[in-house]
């Protein structure tokens, strides 16, 4: 099915007109322009497959923001795509792990919370709780190290 803002009233098939490049043929109205053809289901499947591959490659390249953007685009086309949801969850988790390795616990928790709000996946919420606990432990370790150094000076 075509998608767009205005309906072509002369079209009995119920397709939606996307541009001014439509022509009539034996199968109904078709567009010669790629803007309309790209919305057909078979092209959508190809686009989804390409975006999933791209998201996976970004994830392998540790480019988490681009991976998330690719998976988001898949979800905008097909909201229940399990591969895209799984890929995006993995991207958020990997990004937070990279931030934790850098010592940026606040940003890691923020990234996980953003992912949870967008996707509703419990793994992200659990990971955010773990990051908060890790941050508390790290703060306590630093405090104890300071106390130990103060005692050693005495």
pLDDT band at 92 (very low <50, low <70, confident <90, very high): very high
Cα-based angle 111, 112, 116 (whole degrees, multiple of 5)? 120
pLDDT band at 73 (very low <50, low <70, confident <90, very high): very high
Question: Residue holding tokens 């392998």?
Answer: 60
Q: Which tokens is 96 given?
A: 């937070």
- How much is the average pLDDT of 140-153? 83
* Average pLDDT for the chain: 78
What one-character DSSP code corresponds to residue 116? H
pLDDT band at 2 (very low <50, low <70, confident <90, very high): very low
pLDDT of residue 19: 52
pLDDT of residue 141: 82
- How much is the average pLDDT of 112-125? 91
- Quick check: 58 pLDDT over 90? yes
Taking the CA atoms of 140, 142, 143 and 148 in sequence, report the sign of the dihedral they define. positive
- How much is the average pLDDT of 126-138? 85
* 142 three-state secondary structure: helix
Most confident of 18-22, 51-55, 74-78: 51-55
């Amino acid at each position: 099915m075509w998608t767009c803002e205005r309906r072509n009233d002369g079209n009995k098939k119920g397709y939606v007109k996307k541009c001014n490049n439509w022509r009539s043929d034996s199968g109904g109205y078709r567009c010669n322009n790629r803007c309309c053809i790209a919305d057909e289901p078979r092209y959508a499947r190809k686009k989804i497959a390409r975006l999933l591959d791209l998201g996976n490659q970004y994830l392998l390249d540790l480019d988490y923001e681009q991976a998330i953007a690719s998976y988001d685009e898949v979800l905008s086309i097909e909201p229940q795509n399990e591969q895209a949801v799984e890929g995006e969850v993995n991207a958020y988790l990997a990004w937070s792990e990279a931030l934790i390795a850098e010592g940026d616990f606040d940003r890691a928790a923020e990234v996980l919370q953003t992912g949870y709000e967008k996707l509703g996946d419990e793994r992200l919420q659990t990971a955010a709780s773990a990051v908060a606990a890790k941050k508390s432990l790290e703060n306590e370790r630093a405090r104890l190290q300071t106390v130990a150094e103060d005692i050693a000076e005495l």
